[in-house]
Copies of this chain bind each other. A is one copy, B any other.
Amino acid sequence: MYTIEALQEIVNQSFANQNFIEEPKLLYEPIEYTLSQGGKRLRPVLLLAGCDLFGGDCNQAINAAVGIEIFHNFTLLHDDIMDKSTLRRGKETVYKRWNENIAILSGDTMFALAYRYFLKTPVANIHNILDVFTETAIDVCNGQQYDMNFETQPDIHMNEYLTMIRKKTAVLLAGALKIGSLYGKCSDEDREHLYNFGINIGMAFQLQDDLLDAFGDEKTFGKPIGTDIKDNKKTFLFLKAIEHGNDDERRILNDWFAQTTADNSEKIASVLSIYNRLEIKKHTEQEIEKYFSKGLEELEMINVESEKKEPLRNFVKQLLGRKH
């Protein structure tokens, strides 16, 4: 059994050993640039943790772990074009540093490379594994489209928002765990519990990201506070405020979120003061707590010794504790 730190080390070591540069260089340099930046490597670590939980061989699953991280980074490359984001992990995004065409094509290539990595390790149930990966990939694309739809959709219901983040974020964490489990041995029921654990943790993770955007500490969060507000992103916080606000507060929020201004300090302050008045932080924390607990419940229902679940418990606490 591995600790999370040991799994992180395996993943980091594995990426350090890869050479992503091939010909034509202009296609692979952005790939190397993206994949060498690190990041939290959540998905490959979860994949290996899912494997290890059910007695699988992490040496067998490592290529799938690399593959899922490449896939995740491919989606970021294309999302950054679509969102016109110029910075990611404190560095210029690929479309900004090179150009859009390069970012499109390097991304496409990364999607294929993800499959190449999955296919590096021959396993009897590769069909099954690639089924899960492929359906997860489609879900992630669907989620990104819902997210784009929201930019112009006038009324977004909370349920639609939760469906969107489930697809855009949670299914990939859950999919990573499920794929990992396929390198080990477990019942369909246990696999389902592990998947549901991933979904709930993924939801909590995304809601926490929403929360930190408004109430985080700029130093530890790594992004300026209020970016979602500036970009008119209708996150959980906004939708909750619309739900709880009076006519006046709703009108003010909707007005702010319908405009872009050169100086955002007044906008951010005004929105935050409504969030504070409506106790949006508390409401969001309650929702995160709900998903977090539900996730842990699912984990507890898995039929392996409690001790073996300790790495995943720790991981989740680490992940969701990053605001402290």
Contacts and interface: CB of A to CB of B under 8 A. Distances in A.
Interface of A: 22-24, 26-27, 75, 78, 81-82, 100-102, 104-105, 107-109, 111-113, 115-116, 119, 122, 126-127, 130-131, 134-135, 137-138, 141-142, 144-146, 148-149
A148 B105 contact: yes
A87 B149 CA distance: 26
20 contacts: A24-B145, A24-B149, A26-B149, A27-B145, A75-B108, A81-B100, A82-B105, A102-B148, A104-B104, A105-B141, A105-B144, A105-B148, A108-B111, A111-B111, A111-B112, A112-B134, A112-B141, A119-B130, A122-B127, A130-B130
A81 B138 CA distance: 21
Nearest to A121: B127
B82 A142 contact: no
Contact of A115 (B100, B116, B134): B134
A119 B132 CA distance: 11
A116 B104 contact: no
A138 B112 contact: yes
Contacts of A104: 78, 81-82, 104
Nearest to A83: B101
A138 B119 contact: no
B130 A105 contact: no
Binding site secondary structure of chain A:
helix
Contact of A134 (B75, B82, B116, B146): B116
Copies in the complex: 2
A75 to B, nearest CB: 8
Contacts of A138: 109, 112-113, 116
A134 B117 CA distance: 10
B78 A141 contact: no
A32 B149 CA distance: 19
B27 A108 contact: no
Contacts of A137: 112, 115
B81 A141 contact: no
Given A108-B111, A126-B126, A130-B130, A116 B135 contact: yes
Contacts of A130: 115, 119, 126, 130
Contacts of A127: 119, 122, 126
A27 B130 CA distance: 22
A113 B320 CA distance: 34
Nearest to A123: B127
A22 B146 CA distance: 13
Complex A-B, nearest 6 residue pairs according to Cβ-Cβ distance, in ascending order: A27-B145, A109-B141, A112-B137, A82-B101, A115-B134, A24-B145
Given A24-B142, A109-B141, A119-B130, 13 more contacts: A23-B142, A27-B142, A78-B105, A78-B108, A81-B100, A101-B148, A102-B148, A104-B104, A105-B144, A112-B138, A115-B134, A116-B135, A126-B127
